[in-house]
């Protein structure tokens, strides 16, 4: 990671510099939190023209509608076409940037902040730390180098990013350094109870009923993955429509499915179009699901990965079954 070069890129921005912050499609807490927290930091440094955006539907998922810095957001089609600097957050590959990928070449320079091991480094300067629990860890370090004082607004953004990507400090990536960062953020006075309730523990009644239905059709295949077990379920556009729910409510479903004691690998197959599915996969350690995802055109981390599947649910699940044995660890 080239910290000095990254710092120089940001410091070279004049006060009139146009900066565009972008993150991956269907942004999660880390994508939005690291992007908006960094944007607020740039503002503090006196950079006046800062925009933030993401590809795809411009809607911010309800859990993140309390984030500070939302006023930085502009719709993707209204974003600066040729910024002086584009900064990219939490995107493992160019394809995760959708229609915004072109900004990487129209911008004066591109700075990439990320923590996916599979990131090829598609920026002019790349800060990619696979050892970081979240992109916000990288963002906090760069903000510190730039002399930004992390106030409570920036802290809330970075805290949301850190808690979402570590599963509220439950995942393996939860190092002493992660807790030390959390301590620094909490010391600014932010409220972990309020933030967690908003981000993790609030959903419409329709989503509760929808989860019941989708969990009720989960399937357990004990012999899959070399006998370590696979559990999976799916949700269709019709399920969403019947319960009057938006697609992002399904992001939390994998956390209920992956509890299954009898399965190492868990999957949720979420319909995005008639023959297109967004697949979330998790592993408890026996399978490298990023290998499954990469083989099927996606990416992610060893124990949390995803891809876009085509065809029927059965075809998508079959494609996963076909990759599990090759992805067994050790």
Binding site for Mn ion (CB under 5 A): 28, 30-31, 90, 135, 165
Instruction: State the minimum distance, in angstroms, from the CB of residue 130 to ligand 5GP.
Output: 11
Helix axes 152-165, 176-186, angle to 10 degrees: 150
With CB under 6 A as the contact rule, the residue among 38, 64, 248, 307 that binds ligand 5GP is 307
112 binds ligand 5GP (CB under 6 A): no
In the bound state with ligand 5GP, the residue whose beta carbon lies nearer, of 189 and 322, is 322
306 binds ligand 5GP (CB under 6 A): yes
Instruction: State the minimum distance, in angstroms, from the CB of residue 128 to Mn ion.
Output: 11
Residue 130's closest CA among 144, 120, 116, 118?
A: 116
Residue facing ligand 5GP at closest CB distance:
306
With CB under 6 A as the contact rule, the residue among 132, 300, 303, 309 that binds ligand 5GP is 300
60-89 burial, b at 16+ Cβ within 10 Å, e below that, comes to: bbbbbeebbbeebbeebeebbeebbbbbbb
Cα-Cα-Cα-Cα dihedral of 118, 123, 126, 130, to 10°?
Answer: -20
With CB under 6 A as the contact rule, the residue among 2, 60, 66, 93 that binds ligand 5GP is 93
User: DSSP letters along 144-205, please?
Assistant: HHTT----HHHHHHHHHHHHHHTTTTTSTT--HHHHHHHHHHHTTT--HHHHHHHHHS---H
With CB under 6 A as the contact rule, the residue among 18, 43, 96, 258 that binds ligand 5GP is 96
Q: Where are the beta strands (DSSP E) in 12-147?
A: 18-23, 49-53, 85-89, 109-114, 125-128
Q: For ligand 5GP, how many residues bind (rule: CB under 6 A)?
A: 14
Q: Which stretch binds ligand 5GP (CB under 6 A): 88-96, 139-147, 195-203, 315-323?
A: 88-96
246 within 8 A of 59, measured Cβ to Cβ: yes
d(CA 87, CA 135): 12
d(CA 192, CA 133): 18
Cα-Cα-Cα-Cα dihedral of 135, 140, 145, 148, to 10°?
Answer: 140
112 within 8 A of 85, measured Cβ to Cβ: no
With CB under 6 A as the contact rule, the residue among 299, 316, 320, 324 that binds ligand 5GP is 299
In the bound state with Mn ion, the residue whose beta carbon lies nearer, of 49 and 171, is 171
Instruction: State the minimum distance, in angstroms, from the CB of residue 251 to ligand 5GP.
Output: 6
Instruction: State the minimum distance, in angstroms, from the CB of residue 96 to Mn ion.
Output: 9
Q: How is the beta sheet containing 304-310 ordered, strand by strand?
A: 219-221, 230-235, 265-273, 276-283, 304-310, 299-300
Residue 272's closest CA among 280, 284, 283?
A: 280
160 touches, from ligand 5GP, Mn ion, none (C-beta below 5 to 8 Å by class): none
Instruction: State the minimum distance, in angstroms, from the CB of residue 299 to ligand 5GP.
Output: 3
31 touches, from Mn ion, ligand 5GP, none (C-beta below 5 to 8 Å by class): Mn ion
In the bound state with Mn ion, the residue whose beta carbon lies nearer, of 30 and 156, is 30
Contacts with ligand 5GP in 203-262 (CB under 6 A)?
A: 254
18 binds ligand 5GP (CB under 6 A): no
305 binds ligand 5GP (CB under 6 A): yes
301 touches, from Mn ion, ligand 5GP, none (C-beta below 5 to 8 Å by class): ligand 5GP
Question: E strand or H helix at 295, and its extent?
Answer: helix 289-295
Instruction: State the minimum distance, in angstroms, from the CB of residue 177 to ligand 5GP.
Output: 20
With CB under 6 A as the contact rule, the residue among 35, 112, 250, 304 that binds ligand 5GP is 304
What are the respective helix, strand and coil percentages of the chain, to the nearest 5?
45, 20, 35
Q: Which residues bind ligand 5GP (CB under 6 A)?
A: 92-93, 96, 254, 280, 298-301, 304-308
């Amino acid at each position: 990671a080239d910290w000095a070069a990254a710092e120089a890129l940001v410091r070279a921005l004049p006060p009139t510099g146009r900066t565009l912050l972008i993150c991956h499609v269907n942004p999660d807490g880390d994508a939005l939190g690291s992007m908006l927290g960094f944007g607020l930091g740039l503002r503090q440094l006196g950079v006046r023209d800062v925009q933030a955006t993401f590809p795809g539907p411009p809607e911010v998922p309800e859990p993140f509608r309390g984030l500070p810095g939302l006023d930085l957001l502009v719709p993707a089609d209204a974003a600066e076409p040729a910024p002086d600097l584009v900064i990219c957050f939490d995107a493992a590959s160019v394809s995760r940037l959708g229609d915004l990928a072109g900004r990487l070449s129209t911008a004066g320079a591109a700075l990439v902040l990320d923590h996916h091991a599979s990131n090829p480094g598609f920026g002019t300067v790349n800060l990619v730390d696979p050892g970081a629990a979240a992109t916000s860890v990288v963002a906090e370090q760069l903000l510190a180098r730039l002399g930004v004082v992390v106030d409570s607004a920036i802290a809330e953004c970075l805290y949301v990013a850190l808690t979402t990507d570590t599963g509220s400090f439950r995942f393996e990536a939860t190092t002493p350094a992660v807790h030390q960062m959390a301590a620094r953020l909490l010391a600014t006075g932010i409220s972990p109870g309020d933030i967690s309730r908003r981000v993790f523990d609030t959903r419409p009644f329709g989503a509760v009923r929808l989860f019941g239905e989708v969990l009720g059709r989960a399937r357990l295949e004990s012999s899959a993955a070399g006998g370590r077990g696979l559990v999976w379920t799916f949700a269709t556009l019709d399920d969403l429509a019947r319960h009057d729910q938006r697609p992002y409510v399904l992001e939390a479903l994998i956390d209920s499915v992956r509890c299954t004691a009898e399965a190492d690998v868990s999957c949720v197959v979420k319909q995005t179009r008639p023959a297109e599915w967004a697949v979330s996969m998790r592993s408890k350690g026996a399978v490298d699901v990023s290998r499954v995802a990469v083989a099927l055109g996606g990416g992610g981390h060893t124990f949390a990965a995803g891809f876009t599947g085509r065809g029927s649910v059965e075809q998508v699940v079959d494609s996963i079954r076909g990759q599990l044995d090759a992805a067994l660890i050790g």
